[in-house]
Structure 1
Amino acid sequence: MGATGFGYKIAKKFGLKINPQRAGLVPFVFNSEDQQKFGQLRGISIFCRVSNHQASFDENILFTHKGLSGPAILQISSYWNSGESIEIDLSPNIKITDFLNNKKDQGTKTTLKNTLIELLPKNFVATFFDSDILEKRVCDLAIDEISLIAKKIHQWLVYPQTTEGYRTAEVTLGGVSCDELSSKILETNKVKGLYFIGEVVDVTGWLGGYNFQWAWASGQVV
């Protein structure tokens, strides 16, 4: 019902509240600046922490020819609104200041580039940082330089231009408001004998089969 719009038409006909719909669990499209910089990284995957003001997910991101995908991106997309940023921690389990300071204290003469590729993909490192800083030896890095490198890795702010929309989305956000339905049998409060289930209702689960389970479980209730 949610896929065809039929369910929304029925709900509207009976005067039920319908919350705005949009694509959820969907990849992001880079803005033009990021597309120019990162478009060449298609296929690279990195374990990250992706966050915004509502949620945070520790899973992989995947660079595509258009932008970012992968489990962490799909998850956070359901909490993202147009114009907002997402924050990506590219090293959620290793504190970069400690990592680089330890290398510096050991007198490591390896370049920053060759040191960072212990943690991150080589092509990504070469694209993400300016070549000047990458060619510096770790033992020669100043404290403020290490701090800036750490901030860049732990707090990468991305401003998506948009999402890929329903073409690649796994679910629809929004739909018939739960306030209109009985929480026990999913019958509408206004019209006896009228029920709404599955994706047409404003219920969205995380990635991993939860939306299928909601569809099956809500259908079983009715």
Structure 2
Amino acid sequence: GGERYRLETSMGEFSCTNLVIATGGLSIPKIGATPLGYRIAAQFHIPVIAPKPALVPLTLPPEELDIYKELAGTAFDAVAECGTGRFRENLLFTHRGLSGPVILQVSSYWQARDYGDKDGGSQVHINLFPNEDVGAWLGAHARSKALLSNLLAERLPRRFTHAWCEQRGWNSPVNQLSPKQLEQIAAQLANWAITPNGTQGYAKAEVTLGGVDTRALSSKTLEARDQPGLYFIGEVVDVTGHLGGYNFQWAWASGYAAGQAV
């Protein structure tokens, strides 16, 4: 009971019994994103998981960009994996690296791991043939006189297959490749490992990973466990959904839960 909180604002002072923090994360600063919510949490000694951009395009190092720089705008269906995240959607090349829904999804898992993890935490693994057994498909075309890049262009954008094969020195007709070489090619098509060097940051991130630690909040009302009358909802909390409206749903649902409590 009583007026527990006093706010000093540009529109004067306000006091209240319950205070709901719905300040969002750090994504898209041009529409006003600030760390205010995290500062308020810190003021009351409520733990905050370090925020990072999420659902965000990944950037490639200059040597990789040089190989794929002509491909900006090229897109195709692929499976991308990192850590426990595995998604199948479109992959898109950009002037700075990789984007598209499948990369945005996997970015939340990529950056959540340490750079240079021994188990490949810094890599994203892409299956360029999500529909079929690429080894069997290559085997069925083993007598083809077509260049490997031209054969692969039956399944993938030609500009991509040419750059990809060029990088690996695979410029031969398929019928001149040994069974062992075809096996190596199939393995790389099913598991193309890329090592991003960063993300495009909060300016391009759809959401923020991290935020107010959920363990410090009631799971029913979103009230801070050790600070009566103080609630945190939506993006300022350490809850990150997949693409497809899940982050909006969390904002609405957490707002409703806190609204019922206050």
Which TM-score bucket, shorter chain as reference? over 0.9
> How is 1:1-222 mapped onto 2 (pairs within 5 angstroms)?
1-2=23-24, 3-81=33-111, 83=115, 84-104=122-142, 107-130=143-166, 133-136=170-173, 138-222=174-258
- 2-side partners of 1:37 and 1:45: how far apart? 16
**3-state secondary structure, aligned to 2:230:** coil
Number of aligned residue pairs: 219
- 1-side partners of 2:65 and 2:175: how far apart? 33
Sequence identity of aligned pairs in percent?
43
- Please, which runs of 5 or more residues in structure 2 have no aligned partner? 1-22, 25-32, 116-121
- 1-side partners of 2:207 and 2:83: how far apart? 21
Q: Residues 83 and 110 of structure 2 are in contact (CA less than 8 Å); yes or no, is this contact kept in structure 1? A: no
Q: So what's the TM-score if we normalise by structure 2?
A: 0.80
Task: Indicate the RMSD between aligned Cα atoms, in angstroms.
Answer: 1.4
- 2-side partners of 1:112 and 1:38: how far apart? 18
Per-residue deviation, 1:108: 2.9
**3-state secondary structure, aligned to 2:132:** coil
- 1-side partners of 2:149 and 2:195: how far apart? 26
Task: Kindly name which structure, 1 or 2, has the bigger radius of gyration based on alpha carbons.
Answer: 2
- 1-side partners of 2:236 and 2:126: how far apart? 32
Per-residue deviation, 1:110: 2.7
- 2-side partners of 1:133 and 1:175: how far apart? 46
- 1-side partners of 2:149 and 2:62: how far apart? 26
- 1-side partners of 2:34 and 2:147: how far apart? 56
Per-residue deviation, 1:92: 1.5
